[in-house]
Structure 1
Amino acid sequence: MNTKKDQPAGTPKDTHYAKLRRAHRDQKRQADKSADDPTVKLYGLHTVREAILNPARQKWRLLVTRNALPRLQLEDAVLAGLKVDMVEPKAIAELLDGEAVHQGALLEAMPLKPEPLSRLSATRLILILDQVTDPHNVGAIIRSAVAFGAGALITTNRHSPTESGVLAKAASGALEHIHHITVRNLADAIEELKEIGFQTIGLDSDGPEQLEDTFAEQRIALVLGAEGKGLRQKTRMTVDALARLDVPGTIRSLNVSNATAISLYAAHRHLSSDG
């Protein structure tokens, strides 16, 4: 049996470790680049269009193909203050992950600034995520939140994805239409929401009541946790109520973004029926 010393160069084991070392170097270069460049690269037609139309978004440069430009459906006046570079699709692909579906449009912009809790004065429905880390899930959740009229998304400073092209693409433009509030301590934020009149309801597969039977107030804050571990114990102890979604099929659990959409629909129905 070969030992590490006499193992021939170029074996699968050597190749495996070489790949790990390259991946580590690539991650470090990306982290160093991110530290020097605070901008985000937003891509996809819906994402780019909504970001350009958002007056709160600082925009720097639009890279767009000739075929994609008319599909953005933006007037010349909207693009007047923006540097627009007409490029080939491969020029955009080189700036992104190889599997990113950019649709011929990429916008270099500054991330949106998180809002304070005080911006919730006129909001009746909000969404709170307890350490949901997957940017694809969070992007899909943002899209559902905007669709059902939620006024804000609250996440934690840590263990939550930062704004990125992946998250924005999954949100399909919805990122520009919701207040994103980040907090250091989620339990403290939930207590503050209670004080200003929100009923805080945590979604839990073992919740004692069905979600529809839990609604009791005219301001609702839905709290969802990460897939697998769910809500943290401190969060479970802080919310007003724990509720479940009854799933009649063979599979008893849902992806967190799907569970969020159903919960938002139920909360919207409650708030609409009660005026």
Structure 2
Amino acid sequence: MPPKLSPSGALRFETEEHTLCGLCRTPYKSCECKGLKDNLHDWYVWHGVPSTMIPSAKDRIFVGLPPPPDNSSRTKLVKRWVSLVNISMIMGHFDANHWFSTKWESLNASMDARTKLLNEMVADYVAQLPTNTELTVLARVLGLQRRAIAGKVDGIAKEAWAALRIFLSGDWACMSKAGSKLLMNAFNTRDPKKYPRDDPHLERILDSGVSRIYGVMEMGFDKKGYCLAMEPGRRPCGVGTSTTLETSDERLISKKARKRKTTKESIPTKKRRRVES
């Protein structure tokens, strides 16, 4: 069944046909990357899945799905994210439908009310990056460890700004795990005088928005998947993003690695087995 994009923004499709391992970019059933067997082995056994059929792909990504229209509203884009979370075997442990029905309306209003302040918060976070004690760790996560300090700061800042713009657009399926971590960092290191911790809008954005996204990404992506997004090959949609922001693969994966991954994705499964044998 071909994937369908509903008027609400949600997606419906056969998971196996549009899910790859984000690390090796092969169908998750044939993936040999380690991770999922260790983390979810008991879950599979409990549900009666034979050990020979337990998949080993951990950092799953979605590919080949119909893109949202360029003029999609924030709500429709978040609905797309909700549907992908529900489809994901790991991320689906988070009740995204309940979250959407109980949290989204108020969160959406708070995002509108604090857009300017969020931009200032990220600007303040980026400004202190040169002296940040976690600079080396963040650079390694983003694959920037070989750059000079200025290059590391520029790369981290670029992803922090991309994460904020994606967050405000609502196209969260295009946010990298690293980006969600940087937004969390911006909140955790904010000046409490300028950004009061008792501000109901900011607290709602943190509790119901940023921390939820990061928590879901923590479920689905391990330490090797910090540069991945749920849809790493699609450019973010929404106001102010579609014409200027690259895909997470373009932002965070080297050109050489992207070429290797793209080539692998383009080889049909049967041919791939003959090539790799």
Normalising by structure 2, report the TM-score.
0.26
Normalising by structure 1, report the TM-score.
0.26
Richer in strand (by share): 1
Q: Which structure: larger Rg?
A: 1
Richer in helix (by share): 2
